[in-house]
Amino acid sequence: MAIDDPVKPDEPTAGAGSPSPTGPASTWSALRPLVLRVHFYAGILIAPLLLVAAASGLLYALSFQAEKVLYSHELTTDVGGRTLPLGTQVAAAREAHPQGTVTAVWPSSEDGATTRVLMSSPDVEEGKSLAVFVDPYTGKVRGELPSYGSSGALPLRIWLDELHRDLHLGDLGRNYSELAASWLWAVALGGLLLWIGRKRASKRALLVPERTAKGRRRTLSWHGSVGLWAVTGLVLLSATGLTWSKYAGENIGAVQDQLGGATPGVSATLDGAAGAGDGHEGHGGGGHEGGHQGPDVGIDKAVEAAAAKGVEGRISVILPADGSGYVVKETDTQFPVHLDSVAIDPADGRVMDELRFADYPLLAKLTRIGIDAHMGVFLGLVNQLALAVLMVALILLIVWGYRMWWLRRPTKERALSVGRPMPRGAWRKVPLPVLLPLAAATAVVGWFVPMLGISLLVFLAVDIALGLAARTRAKA
């Protein structure tokens, strides 16, 4: 993200001097004022939303490690011999919370880690689960906490995730995050063009801040150099954030489906209706009350059947419901990812269907990896640190942008004035063969990313109104 401002005499740009009437230099000279004006207004008006998103995103990235400390009692236990059967562990969770209905189980995946039994329960909000943490060696319940999402976010991360996503305002608040994500890529790429398009004494000044520069030029040097290093990450964050936004997300999902890139799922539907109970319900301690009512080999047999197909390690087991079987999924998102899954018939432990991550369409793979990277779970701690650094960079870019705006204010005229944007009418300088495709592309992007299109129209309307008001005052 970057906030640039009109050129000063001591800051030459590409196209300065005597460019040829045609060619890339001449085209950029005509385009630059327009890019600069849009970049300026977007930076000034959208930056507060980006600042909130960056600050909350920074806290979210750090929450993964904070959870390990804050909830260490629930998440870990002393290593103590052989682990108990999963059915026994699930039974202990049910006994502790008889009002809950078990929906899934995350078996302990490493020594000293607890098993997480997920329940739908009246004690937690809709859309969340009650996670009961069971000591796999003793069967004792070590605690329970609300849990959310495939990453198993606990209360701290749930609160920060909702702050980042919707400011705890529900659907209304989602407009803030979608608006920020809609403009982030545009402002970042606009800043990249403005920074690369400047003339400079050496290429080093493109990548590294100028130490000898002073005042606004020094701030601009830091702003541009850091923005150059951060732009790729910011654009990827914007793109992945839009995939689950309310309006743009629907359009992205529709395009993904049309291109055959929808995320596939393993089929766990049983042949025919679930049979009546025959005395085998809950065999092995893994039955699922309130759901599947027929014969059940139990969760341990289901996990063994999945392991025989190579689905093992860090897994999640979705218990059978009426008309469906067990679904055992790998949940190791760290590279190289292990996300294979199988469906198990609860009556006899037969594998009904299997799905390998390698068989996902390429677009579905990229979408999954992109979202996991946005959430900080793709590369574990490395991913989380990278997100934290990127959020700090975005916060600094915003602060430097506003500082440049402040330093450029006309102090002699008004004590509390601020920097002015590029003069109006910049679009008139753009050659028609460039302006028409640019306008068409903007319209298409504005339709595909509605929050970007609507806010851009609002910017234009306000700008026109201010221009008319200025002309009226000038005539008076």
On whether residue 208 sits in a domain, the answer given is yes
On whether residue 160 sits in a domain, the answer given is no
Regarding whether 186 and 55 lie in a shared domain, the answer is yes
With 50 as the cut, is the pLDDT of residue 204 above it? yes
Distance CA 351, CA 58 (A): 42
On whether residue 337 sits in a domain, the answer given is yes
Q: Can you give the pLDDT at residue 5?
A: 46
Regarding whether 96 and 38 lie in a shared domain, the answer is no
Regarding whether 205 and 88 lie in a shared domain, the answer is no
Regarding whether 114 and 249 lie in a shared domain, the answer is no
Please, which pLDDT band fits residue 412 given cuts at 50, 70 and 90?
Answer: low
**CATH number of the structural domain spanning residue 124:** 3.10.450.40
Regarding whether 243 and 325 lie in a shared domain, the answer is no
Please, which pLDDT band fits residue 287 given cuts at 50, 70 and 90?
Answer: very low
What percent of the chain has pLDDT above 70?
A: 87
Count how many domains the chain has.
Answer: 3
Residue numbers of the domain that contains 334:
283-359
- Convert the pLDDT of each residue in 351-384 to its tens digit: 999 999 999 999 999 999 999 999 999 999 999 9
Distance CA 450, CA 474 (A): 36
Between 21 and 378, name the one with better pLDDT. Answer: 378
- Convert the pLDDT of each residue in 420-456 to its tens digit: 666 777 777 888 888 899 999 999 999 999 999 999 9
Regarding whether 392 and 467 lie in a shared domain, the answer is yes
With 90 as the cut, is the pLDDT of residue 285 above it? no
**CATH number of the structural domain spanning residue 344:** 3.10.450
- Of 122, 153, 184, the residue that ends a domain is 153
On whether residue 120 sits in a domain, the answer given is yes
On whether residue 39 sits in a domain, the answer given is yes
Q: CB of 424 within 8 A of CB of 467?
A: yes
On whether residue 7 sits in a domain, the answer given is no
With 90 as the cut, is the pLDDT of residue 20 above it? no
On whether residue 239 sits in a domain, the answer given is yes
Regarding whether 350 and 325 lie in a shared domain, the answer is yes
SS3 370: helix
- Of 324, 359, 394, the residue that ends a domain is 359
- The sheet carrying 341-344 orders its strands as 141-147, 129-134, 115-120, 101-106, 315-318, 326-330, 341-344, 351-355
Nearest to 166 by CA among 230, 222, 226, 244: 244
User: In the chain, what is the straight-line distance between the N-terminal and C-terminal CA atoms, in Å?
Assistant: 40
Regarding whether 84 and 46 lie in a shared domain, the answer is no
- Of 153, 178, 207, the residue that ends a domain is 153
Regarding whether 289 and 240 lie in a shared domain, the answer is no
Q: Can you give the pLDDT at residue 420?
A: 64
Q: pTM of the prediction?
A: 0.86
Regarding whether 178 and 141 lie in a shared domain, the answer is no
Supply the angle between the helices 215-243 and 381-407 in degrees, to the nearest 10: 130
- Convert the pLDDT of each residue in 52-91 to its tens digit: 999 999 999 999 999 999 999 999 999 988 999 999 999 9
What percent of the chain has pLDDT above 90?
A: 63
On whether residue 370 sits in a domain, the answer given is no
